[in-house]
Structure 1
Amino acid sequence: MTMRSFWADLPTEGRWLLSTVAIQTLGRGLTLPFTLIYLHEVRGFDLSLAGVLMALIAIAGLAVTGPAGALTDRVGARAVLLVGMASMILGNALLAFATTPAAAAVALVLVGINFGVSWPAFNALIAAIVQGALRQQYFGVNFALVNLGIGVGGVVGGLYADVSRPSTFTVIFLADAASMLVPAALLLGPLRHLHGRAEAPEDATTNPASYAQILREPAVRRLTIITFVAIFIGYGQFEAGFPGYVRAVAEVSTRSVGLAFAVNTAVIVLLQFTVLTRITGRRRTRVMLAMAAIWAAAWLLLGSTGAVAGTPLATAGVLGFMAVFALGETLLQPTVPAIANDLAADHTRGRYNAINAGAFQLGSITGPAAAGVLLDQGLAGLYVALMVAGCALIAVLTRGLERAIPATANGVPAEPSAGVP
C-alpha cells in the first residue's frame, strides 16, 4: 500500500474529510499548550483555579458523550458535528475575551461540549463512508494528520503568543475558532448530502440500540476497559504525570520537555503510514499486544532516567521515551476505532463510538489525578510500576478480546466453515 493507492481507493467524501483535518487541528495546536498559561499569566487567575477551569473541558465532554452517541444514531453524524463545531467556535471566541472566571468557565464548557460530541459523530461518519481494511488505514492517516496539525500549530503559537502582549492570545483563540469554519463549510457544502444515519433493520427489537444492551456484549466491555487503561497510562499522563516526573525526578529542563513532545509528533507523522502498511491484514489484537509491550518498554526507559537525574543521559532517556511511546501510538490509534466500528451495526455506530469516547475521556480525567497524588507523595517508583502494570493488564485483556470478537472485526477475513467450499 502506498499513499497514492490509499488516496485513489478513498471515496470522494473520504478525500474531502481527510483534506481538512490538518487545517482544523492546526487551530487547536495554536491554543492547546497555552490555555493554562493564558488563564494564569494573562488573565491573572490563581493556578489552582486555572487548573479547575481546564478540567471543565474533560468533564463537559464526558457529560455529553452519551447523548451525542444516541443523537448521532437518531439524527445523523453530520448534524451532531455541526452542533459541536458551533460550540467550539463560540467557546473559543468567548475565551479570547474572557476576563472573569465565570466567562472562562462558560467558554471552556462549550469547548468541552465540542470534544464530547465530535468523537462519536466523526468516527461514525468515517465508518459510514469508508469500508473494510481501508477504514483502519483511514483512522491511522487521520491520526497522523491530527498530530501534524497540532504540532505545527503549537510551534506557531509558541513563536507568536507573548504573555506581555495579551492581544496575541486573543488572536490565537480567534484563529482556533476560525479554523472550525473550514470543516463546517465542507459539511454545509460539498458534503451536505451526507447524514451518517442508518435506519434500524425491520427485524430489530423495540429498543435495539440502548447503551445497556451494547455494554452486555463481552467484546464491548473488554474493548472499553482496554481503552480506559490505555488512556490512563498514556494520554492521561501527558498533562501531569510525564511533565511532573521528568522535572522532579529526571530533573531535565523545560526546553527538553517541549522537545520531547516535538519528538513524539515527528515520530507519529513519519512512521504512521509505514506502520499501517505493516499491520494491514494482521490481527488487530496482536497489534495491540505489540503496543502494550512497546509502551511497557517506554515506561521502563523513563523510569531509568531517575538514576541519572540532571545529566544528558536523563535528557536522552526522556526524548527516547517519547519516541518509543509514539511508536506504540501508531499501533493503537488505527486499531481500537476500527474494532469498535466493525463490532457496531450501522444504526448503532454512534453509541459504540460514544462508549469508546467515554472511556477515553474518563482515562484523561483520572490519569492526571492519580499521577498528581503519587508524585506529590514522592512515590515515583510506584508511579512507574503502575504504568508498567497497566501495560500488562492491557495485554491480558487483549487476549480475552481476541477470543470474544469475530475475525472480521479483528482485521482478518473470516475463515470458511468446515465443508464449505
Structure 2
Amino acid sequence: MEPSASAGRVALARVFSGWRTGLSGPVIVLQAGTAVNYFGTGLILPFEIIYMHQARGFSTATAGLVLAAVMATAAVVTPPSGALLDRFRAKPILIIGNLASALGYAGFAFVDRPWQAFVCAAVGGAGFGVASTANQVLSLTLVSVEQRAASIALRRVAGNFGLGSGATVAGFIIAYANHLRAFQALYLFDGATFGVFALVVLVGIPNLPSTNAAPAIDSGTGFRAVAHDRLFLILLAANVVLIMTGGALFSNILPPFAKTHTPVGPSEIGIVIFINTIVIVVAQIPATRVLERMRRTHALAATSGLFAIGLLAVLPATLTRSSLIGTAVLAGVAIVIAIGECAQFVVLGPIVADLAPPQLLGRYLSLYGLTFMAGVALGPAVGGPLLAASPDAVWWGGALAAALTGAGFLRLGNRIPDPLVQAESASL
C-alpha cells in the first residue's frame, strides 16, 4: 500500500472518530425520528406565509398572526407540559404531542378561512410545545450523566439536518409546481412526519422513568421551588440574551440588513444561511469532544465572545462594493456564529439537567425551552426597530450585550456545576 493512501485512510478515520458518540441504539433511533420530523417542518417553514397569502388569499398580516399563534400556543403550553412530565413518563407524552402536531399541520392543507388556520395553529403549536419538552426529557432518560452533551449534540444535528434538507427539497418543489396542490402536499407530508415520529417512539423507544437527574439542590416541588434556584434563573436570562444576539439577529436581521446595506443579494444571503446550517451539522458532535476538555464557565464565556465577534464582523461587509467579498465576509460571520451555537447548546443543556432535582426535571427543561422561544421572538422585536433607526447599532449593541453576558458567566465561576472540576478534585 502506498504511504499517501495509508495516511489518507488514517486521516479519514480520525475525522469519523470525531463523530462517534457512544450513544445507545434507542437514542440513535429517537434522533433519527427527530430528523424525519424536522425534515417535514423544513418543507413548510420557508413557505408558510407565501401559502396562506398566495394560495389561500389571506393578507400577509393575517398570515403572520397565524404563525405567531403557533409559537404563542407553544409557549403557553410549555411550562404545564414540564409539570406533566414530572408526574408521568415522557414517552406517551411525546407521542401525544406529535399526534396533536400531525393533526394541526395536516389541517393547514385544507384551511380556506382565517379562523380555521388559527385553530390549526393552536393545535399544532400545542403539540409542538408538549413534544419539544418531552423529547428533551426522554433523551435524558436514555443516557448517563456523562453522555448528556453527546445526546444534546446529536439531537441538534438531527434537527438542523432535517430542517435544512427539507427546506432545500421544498424549494425545488415549489419552483417546479407553484400551485395549491403542491402546498397541500407539503403540509400533508409534514403532518405525516409527525405521525412517523410518534410511531418510531412507540415501537423503538423504551418507556423509562426519569431517573438520571443529578442530586437535588432543593427538595421542594413545583415552580416555586424552581424560582428559588437563583443560578438557574440567571442562566435562563443569559440564554435569552444569547439566543437574541446570536441566532435571532443572524437569522432574522442579517438578511434585510445585508440586502439594503451591502452588495450581497438574495441568492448570496441564501448561501450564507446554508453555510451556517451545514457548519452546525458537521461540527456539532466533534465540538462536543473539544468542549468536554474546557471548564463550563470558560466555554460559555467563549460562546459569548464568538457571538460578539461574529456580530461586529458584519460591519466590514458594508465597506465593499464587491458581492464576492461581501459574501465571503458574511460567510465568515455564519461560521463564527455557528461555532458559538454549537457550544451554547451542548454546554447549557447539561448544566440545566445537572441543576434539576429529579422531581423537577420536566419543569427545569420546560423553562429552559421557553427561553429559546423568548429569544427567537425578542430578537426581531428589538432588532427590527433598531435596524430602522440605526442599522449599525444593531451589531454594536448585540455585540456589547453578548460580551457583557460572557463577563457575567466568568463572574459565576465555580457556582456552575462542572464535571471537569469534579474529576480534577477526585484525582487529587
**2:135 alignment partner, SS class:** helix
Q: What's the counterpart of residue 380 of structure 1?
A: 391
What do the CA deviations read for 1:284-323 (whole angstroms, capped 9, x no partner)?
2211211111111111111222222563322222222112
Q: What's the counterpart of residue 159 of structure 1?
A: 172
Deviation at 1:345, TM superposition (A): 2.0
Alignment of 1:139-218 (within 5 A): 139-162=152-175, 164-196=178-210, 208-218=220-230
Counterpart among 28, 36, 40 of residue 41 in structure 2: 28
Corresponding position: 1:47 with 2:60: yes
Deviation at 1:234, TM superposition (A): 2.2
Q: In structure 2, do the counterparts of structure 1 residues 84 and 306 end up closer, same or farther at CA, with 3 Å as the change threshold?
A: same
Counterpart among 142, 148, 170 of residue 135 in structure 1: 148
In 1, the alpha carbon distance for the partners of 2:17 and 2:251 equals 36
Counterpart among 70, 76, 80 of residue 83 in structure 2: 70
Where do 5+ consecutive residues of structure 1 fail to align? none
What do the CA deviations read for 1:157-205 (whole angstroms, capped 9, x no partner)?
1000257311111111111111112221122223253354799999985
Q: In structure 2, do the counterparts of structure 1 residues 195 and 78 end up closer, same or farther at CA, with 3 Å as the change threshold?
A: farther
Q: What's the counterpart of residue 329 of structure 2?
A: 317
In 2, the alpha carbon distance for the partners of 1:199 and 1:179 equals 30
Q: In structure 2, do the counterparts of structure 1 residues 252 and 46 end up closer, same or farther at CA, with 3 Å as the change threshold?
A: farther
In 2, the alpha carbon distance for the partners of 1:24 and 1:270 equals 19
In 1, the alpha carbon distance for the partners of 2:250 and 2:296 equals 25
What do the CA deviations read for 1:87-135 (whole angstroms, capped 9, x no partner)?
2101111111112111111222222223322232211111111112221
Deviation at 1:70, TM superposition (A): 0.3
Where do 5+ consecutive residues of structure 2 fail to align? 1-13
Q: What's the counterpart of residue 345 of structure 1?
A: 357
**Which amino acid is the alignment partner of residue 70 of structure 1?**
A
Q: In structure 2, do the counterparts of structure 1 residues 391 and 343 end up closer, same or farther at CA, with 3 Å as the change threshold?
A: same
Aligned pair count?
414
In 1, the alpha carbon distance for the partners of 2:215 and 2:336 equals 45
Deviation at 1:210, TM superposition (A): 1.7
TM-score by length of 2: 0.89
Q: In structure 2, do the counterparts of structure 1 residues 274 and 252 end up closer, same or farther at CA, with 3 Å as the change threshold?
A: same
**Which amino acid is the alignment partner of residue 389 of structure 1?**
L
In 2, the alpha carbon distance for the partners of 1:49 and 1:202 equals 46
Q: In structure 2, do the counterparts of structure 1 residues 72 and 255 end up closer, same or farther at CA, with 3 Å as the change threshold?
A: same
Counterpart among 406, 410, 416 of residue 395 in structure 1: 406
Q: In structure 2, do the counterparts of structure 1 residues 6 and 215 end up closer, same or farther at CA, with 3 Å as the change threshold?
A: farther
Deviation at 1:401, TM superposition (A): 3.4
Deviation at 1:54, TM superposition (A): 1.5
Q: Which region of structure 1 is more displaced relative to structure 2, 29-38 or 196-205?
A: 196-205
In 2, the alpha carbon distance for the partners of 1:75 and 1:265 equals 35
Query: Would you say the 8 A contact 1:79–1:195 is kept in 2?
Result: no
Tell me which protein shows more helix as a share of its residues.
2
Counterpart among 74, 82, 85 of residue 95 in structure 2: 82
Q: What's the counterpart of residue 58 of structure 1?
A: 71
Q: CA RMSD in A?
A: 2.6
In 1, the alpha carbon distance for the partners of 2:185 and 2:401 equals 41
Q: In structure 2, do the counterparts of structure 1 residues 23 and 416 end up closer, same or farther at CA, with 3 Å as the change threshold?
A: same
**1:180 alignment partner, SS class:** helix
In 1, the alpha carbon distance for the partners of 2:330 and 2:214 equals 50
Q: In structure 2, do the counterparts of structure 1 residues 413 and 403 end up closer, same or farther at CA, with 3 Å as the change threshold?
A: closer
Query: Would you say the 8 A contact 2:21–2:285 is kept in 1?
Result: no
